[in-house]
Amino acid sequence: MTKVRVKICGITNRTDALRAVESGADALGFLFYPASPRYLAPERAREIIRRLPPLLTTVGVFVNETAPNVTAVREFCGLDAVQLHGEETPEFCRSLPGKVIRAFRLRDSADIAAARAWETDAWLFDSYVPNRPGGTGARFNWDWLQQASPLPRPFLVAGGLTPQNVGECIRAVRPYAVDVSSGVEDEPGKKNPEKLIRLIAAVRAVPDDA
């Protein structure tokens, strides 16, 4: 089993971006959803991304944006992938160039089965909170993923992950990656350096065959 990757989402400044990279993050997420407290304007995201080291994956997060706008921001910022957290259809996802991650907010295990209609490069499973597309800090029932295994796509787990429970999550469901935002923050958009270090250390401490 290959190592579980770590994506730190909701990056809003260069200091946090570099701290996440130095702590061992594999990917960074930038939110282009104006209603989010972690929103970052494309111009600012581009400045940060251009100063990141090579071989790091950058992901743009969008909610119910138009395909031309998603593509334009992707190209302008130099993003490696896009992550969609709204009501984007399978057809919409297929229309986008490059790597696409489709997020699903889980109410129950049936939502995992429904995800199979989206043949994107990866899926992301998050917690369902009414009127909140993500970043809630709420955890869903990981047993649902165990029951649905094996899945035909690489998948990321988000929702309520912290340095204290991320190892438990990995042992339970063996995701392709974990996606963490509020679990390493002091407040929305402000990452805590010690939490970053402890979270990524907890991920790396899980044996590949656990």
With beta carbons less than 8 A apart as the criterion, state whether 49 and 21 touch. no
Count how many Cα atoms sit within 13 Å of the Cα of residue 106 in the half-sphere of its side chain. Answer: 25
Catalytic residue among 26, 126, 169, 179: 126
Backbone angles phi, psi at 139, to 5 degrees: -105, 140
Catalytic residue among 9, 77, 93, 169: 9
Count how many Cα atoms sit within 13 Å of the Cα of residue 175 in the half-sphere of its side chain. Answer: 26
Q: Which helix (H) or strand (E) holds 88?
A: none
Residue 67: burial class (beta carbons within 10 Å; 0-12, 13-18, 19+): middle
- Clarify whether 9 is annotated catalytic: yes
Rounded to the nearest 10 degrees, the angle between the axes of helix 42-50 and helix 67-77 is: 30
Q: Which helix (H) or strand (E) holds 116?
A: none
Among residues 126, 200, 202, 138, the alpha carbon closest in space to that of 171 is found at 202
| Token couple for 106 | 């889980």
Active-site positions read: 9, 126
